[in-house]
Amino acid sequence: MTNSSEHGAQDWDFAGIFKIHADQDYPFLQEEWQSWEAKPAKHDIRIANGDLKKDWTLLDSDKAIGDDSYQIRYENVNYQIGANRIVCQGSVNESYLEHEIVIPAINRMVAKKGYYLAYASAVSHHGKVLFFPGLSGSGKTSVVLELLARGASFMGDNNAFIDREGICTLYSPMIGFPMRNAELFPELVPRLFTDERERKRQEKRLSFHKLGMSIDHQDFLMRNLRDQIVSRFYFHQDAPFKRLFPKGEMRMTGPVEHVFFLERGIAEPRVMDTKPEELAKLVMMIDWIYNTSGGCSHNTMAESVGLEYCTKADYQQVFSGFFARAHCHRARIAPQSTREEIRRAVDEIEKIVLS
């Protein structure tokens, strides 16, 4: 249960890095941030539902600015972002609220303090923290799942805090489990869907998805058929780490030892050493792109209305400091890798970690 002085209110303290208070119950966020439940205290951001200010200057159909805040509209819901407050008007998509509103707010407020919530996965293996940045679809979750199956401790999937002193900290105990990983790790599917009827339904979807993926798509008509089947039977399910690995352990924070930048490549999969400064620049660029995707730069809008914002230089000092304290590598993984190819890649990673 969440500690709170108000019925339905929630509080989270992310290892002292950032504190959030929500005025009402958000089930999705509660699950995402369950590791950081806290007693009510002074917070950096308050999330509330209510009416928005009326005086706005429209920039386009889904963005507007005011005297001391800015507004974003998504799926008929308005989000007003101010100095220490996010006000939502309408029926909130909690996943959008987290990834497109709250996380950018966190990063523009913590970067100057030497922290950053990076787009990466992390584990602790043989007592060493391993950090895996990479583009979407590069294999971060697949590599982490294979390492967890080998006894690694979980530290994050797709998001983890880093700081300029080389410390990596868990953000969420949830693991994203798309269709691709259900195909690679079928032994985890029964744990993913604990209800037997739902599991059988999803296993049937998985079989149709596999059928679609097997269709030869050189011909236009067959390619169209393949795309329709694959999209219709695709699923993505988030699950708590402990549900997938009930005997596994979770490490909350620790100093980074190795960084493996995951990249897709048609050449032979391999792991190569690289310079920390080169990797820091590359990963920072990727995160900068993700932060400004979707046609909305929170930093630019925050700066325009006088809110706290961060610059590329602020990001650079965090990434440079973090990567300088790690052994840095680039790990090439073939697109649409098989389980055996994932195993071989992780074998090579383990050799480096144990050397």
> Which of 134, 231, 237, 135 minimizes the C-alpha distance to 181?
237
Which tokens hold the place of 226?
């393949």
- b/e burial code for range 296-335 (CB count within 10 A of at least 16 → b): bbbbebbeebebebbeeebbbebbebbbebbbbbbbbbbe
pLDDT at 3: 43
Query: CB of 183 within 8 A of CB of 145?
Result: no
pLDDT at 195: 86
Q: Which fold has domain 116-178+247-354?
A: Phosphoenolpyruvate Carboxykinase; domain 3 (3.90.228)
The per-residue pLDDT string of the chain (355 residues; one tens digit each, 9 = 90 and over) reads: 344 444 579 999 999 999 999 999 999 999 999 999 998 889 999 999 988 877 888 888 889 999 999 999 999 999 999 999 999 999 999 999 999 999 999 999 999 999 999 999 999 999 999 999 988 888 899 999 999 999 999 999 999 999 999 999 999 999 988 888 888 998 998 898 888 888 888 888 888 877 887 887 778 888 888 888 888 877 778 899 999 999 999 999 999 999 999 987 656 668 899 999 999 998 988 877 766 554 458 888 999 999 998 888 898 999 999 999 999 999 988 767 889 989 999 999 999 999 8
Sheet order of strands, 10-13 included = 10-13, 19-22, 45-49, 85-89, 77-81, 70-74, 63-65, 57-60
For the chain, percent helix, then strand, then coil, each to nearest 5? 40, 30, 30
H or E element that contains 158: none
Query: Which pairing describes strands 63-65 and 10-13: parallel, antiparallel, or unpaired?
Result: unpaired
pLDDT at 216: 78
Which residue type sits at 81? Answer: I
Domain with CATH 3.90.228.20 in the chain: 116-178+247-354
Q: For residues 90 and 48, what is the distance between their CA atoms, to the nearest angstrom?
A: 11
pLDDT at 116: 95
- Tokens 């999705």, located at residue: 28
- CB proximity list for 262: less than 8 A, separation 6 or greater: 132, 133, 134, 138, 139, 140, 143, 331, 333
